[in-house]
Each structure stands twice: as C-alpha cells, then as structure tokens.
C-alpha cells in the first residue's frame, strides 16, 4: 500500500506528512505551502522546458560567449573555441573542466531528463531505484551549472579599463544561461514520484 492510495503526501517545503482532502490538493497546516499528491501538469511542463532548453543549446555552443576588446581589436570565442585555445596553450586541466561543465554536463542533464520523461510516459516498471537516483543527481548538479556565467559576469565587471581591455558577454552566454535555467526548472517541475506510480499495469 502506497502513501498515494491512503491520500498521504509530504509538504515540498517543510516535509510534513499529511492527509489531503479528496482531489489530492491542499495546504500545509505547518507552513501554508500548497501540497499535492503529484505536481500538477508535471509531464507537460517538464517537456516544454526541456524542449526549449534543447533548442537554446545550439546557439549556446555556436555563438560567442565572450568578446575581448584589447587595443581596439576584438576577439570573440565560443565555448568550444575557448576549450581548444586552453588545450593548445597547455592548460588542458582547465580546458577539461570547461568542456565538462559547459558542454558535457548540460547535454547529459537534458538526455537524463529525456530518458526519465520517456520511461515515465511508457509506464516502465524497470530500474525505478536507479532512475530515482539519476533524478537526484540531475537535481544536485543543476545548481552548479551557473558557474561559467558567473565567471563571464565577473570578468566583464572587473576587466574593464577603457580602451586597453574590455570583456563583453556574447549572445552565446545568454543562450547558455537560458539552457541552465530551463534545465533547472525542468528538473524542478518533474515529479520523481511518477516513476513509482506504475508497475507495468496498463
């Protein structure tokens, strides 16, 4: 017997376990937050956010994330060109970090969310514990994905000495920020309890 069958749900804010009225929606008596047996429109909201993030992922990698203007000359770099520059100049550990954090992690997050959505919609009874752990990893990693944007923002604020050198955020940085925020919202809108709702029944 599952908590859902008994009309029980825990508050997303304070964790209080409570019995919900008929309809599966209510408010927490402890903190006043809305409580649901399952997040409303979880699947459709997650799909919309994930597909938008996938679309933004292309310009995030194709357009420059940063432009350096030094002595009147402008040099623009995409994420990949920045990785290549670091690797060629011997900074391969930093190049590896940038590649993993800026290219690989966002891609793996989107693929993981895609996998979770497809398995939930197909009512797959397989590997539920592993899928739940996968969701927790996606949720945990998401909060660290803004590091690159913070670096660009700090450089733009600090390295600005008039005509000598100026760093400006590029279009790719805006798209990359959109990817990070959209995947974070997609992970937040996905309800991992849906993984456990079906045991292969039609």
For the segment 30-77, what is each residue's pLDDT rounded down to a tens digit? Answer: 898 888 778 888 999 999 999 999 999 999 888 888 776 666 677 777
Annotate 79-111 with b (16+ C-beta within 10 A) or e (fewer). bbebbeebbeeeeeeebeebbebbbebbeebbe
Q: With CA atoms as reference, report the closest residue to 79 among 69, 65, 97.
A: 65
41-196 CATH pick, 3.30.1490, 3.40.1580, 1.20.140, 1.20.950? 1.20.140
Rounded to two decimals, the pTM is 0.78
- In angstroms, the CA 76 to CA 44 distance is 37
Other Cβ atoms closer than 10 A to 167: 19
For residue 8, the SS3 value is: strand
Read off the pLDDT of residues 169-182 as tens digits, 9 standing for 90 and up: 778 888 988 998 89
- In angstroms, the CA 190 to CA 22 distance is 23
Read off the pLDDT of residues 120-152 as tens digits, 9 standing for 90 and up: 999 888 889 999 999 999 988 876 666 666 665
Q: Are 46 and 158 in contact (CB under 8 A)?
A: no
């Amino acid at each position: 017997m599952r908590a859902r069958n008994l009309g029980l749900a825990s508050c997303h804010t304070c964790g209080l376990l409570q019995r919900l009225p008929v309809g599966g929606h209510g408010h927490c008596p402890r903190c006043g937050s809305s409580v649901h047996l399952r997040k409303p429109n979880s699947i459709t909201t997650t799909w919309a956010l994930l597909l938008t993030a996938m679309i933004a992922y292309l310009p995030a990698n194709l357009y420059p994330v940063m432009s350096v203007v030094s002595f009147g000359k402008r040099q623009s770099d995409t994420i990949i060109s920045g990785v290549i520059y670091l690797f060629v100049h011997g900074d391969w550990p930093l190049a590896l970090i940038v590649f993993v954090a800026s290219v690989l992690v966002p891609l793996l997050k989107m693929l993981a969310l895609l996998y979770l959505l497809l398995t939930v919609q197909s009512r797959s009874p397989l590997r539920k514990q592993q899928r739940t752990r996968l969701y927790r990893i996606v949720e945990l990693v998401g909060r660290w994905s803004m590091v690159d944007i913070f670096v660009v923002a700090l450089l733009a604020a600090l390295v600005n000495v008039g005509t000598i050198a100026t760093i400006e955020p590029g279009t790719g940085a805006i798209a990359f920020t959109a990817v990070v925020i959209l995947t974070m919202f997609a992970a937040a809108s996905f309800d991992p309890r849906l993984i456990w709702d079906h045991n292969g029944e039609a």
